[in-house]
Amino acid sequence: MKLFHILIVSLLLVVNSISSGFCQDVTLSWDPSPTDGVTGYKVYYTKDMTEYPFQGIGADQGPSPVDVGDVLSTTLTNLPDDETFYFSVTAYVDDSQESSYSNIVSNGWIPALLLPDNGATGEPVPVTFQWETAPAGYDVSYTLVYGTDRTEVLAAKGIPTISTTSKIPHISPAIISLIFMIILGYLLSCKNLKCRPRIATAALLLVIGGVLASCGGGGGSGESSSSGHSTTDPIVPTPTVYSIDKGSSDYHQAFDLEGATTYYWKVVATDTQDPNLTYESEVLQFTTESF
């Protein structure tokens, strides 16, 4: 089957907060696909999440997706009131040829991602991330999440911790030699023969412990390294996802991106008074330039 690429330019949202009892009506509109041969559109919706596929239920028009035909606007009626829903649209030619999802919109506020453009290629490093600030009435702080694994970016909520190796006290060979010479000198000068075995035992234990510490053995991790790191150096794993607290800022410049690499990113806005109340954007992607 021929691979068919269909483009949705933009999905817009008009929320008709017409609450009749416990229901709401939501009106969606979108730009026409510029691809020739498009015969209709499907509206996908879901509740309380931004992860595809959208498999929502509750609208009078049926479960997601709703085939709306060859129109550029539709209204989903009788959705449960006081619930946040997310919407996306695809275009199709026939049952076997359907586009990818459009951007995501919501009947509640979610941060709109502005830069870089979704699907951008050859993005120069440093990459500038920029997103929409919250409207009046929202008091939030922003967390930028980006990485090379889409699944991990989707799942990320907070700032990850980076593990390190156990830090074993390091005693240099020179110090060990100095301590040994001092103890040896004391042994030779000690006239009390009964004290010599005890001092000799303590000296032996001190030397053995110092040698183990300097070599990195005998500790909890006991990891050897061919890269020249001592046991006091943290071994930091290369993360596939970064989570950066941006406070009230609406942009971030990232200098730590690899060339010719595809990254995924999102923004999570957290209410400053209620940390359990978050507003999560969709996940977009871009590819950096080769260098």
Domains in the chain with CATH codes: 1-108 (2.60.40.10)
Q: Kindly tell me if the per-residue pLDDT of 232 is higher than 60.
A: no
For the segment 158-174, the average pLDDT, to the nearest whole number, is: 44
| Residue with token string 């000799």 | 200
Q: Kindly tell me if the per-residue pLDDT of 50 is higher than 70.
A: no
How far apart, in whole angstroms, are the C-alpha atoms of residue 155 and residue 273?
23
Give the phi and the psi of residue 203 in degrees, each rounded to 5.
-65, -40
Lowest mean pLDDT among 15-19, 41-45, 88-92, 259-263: 15-19
Global pTM value: 0.57
Model confidence at 148, in pLDDT bands (50, 70, 90)?
Answer: very high
Cα dihedral sign, 249-264-89-7: positive
Neighbours of 217 (CB within 10 A): 13
Q: Kindly tell me if the per-residue pLDDT of 224 is higher than 80.
A: no
Lowest mean pLDDT among 5-14, 43-52, 96-105, 115-124: 5-14
For the segment 98-126, the average pLDDT, to the nearest whole number, is: 90
Model confidence at 33, in pLDDT bands (50, 70, 90)?
Answer: confident
How far apart, in whole angstroms, are the C-alpha atoms of residue 32 and residue 54?
21
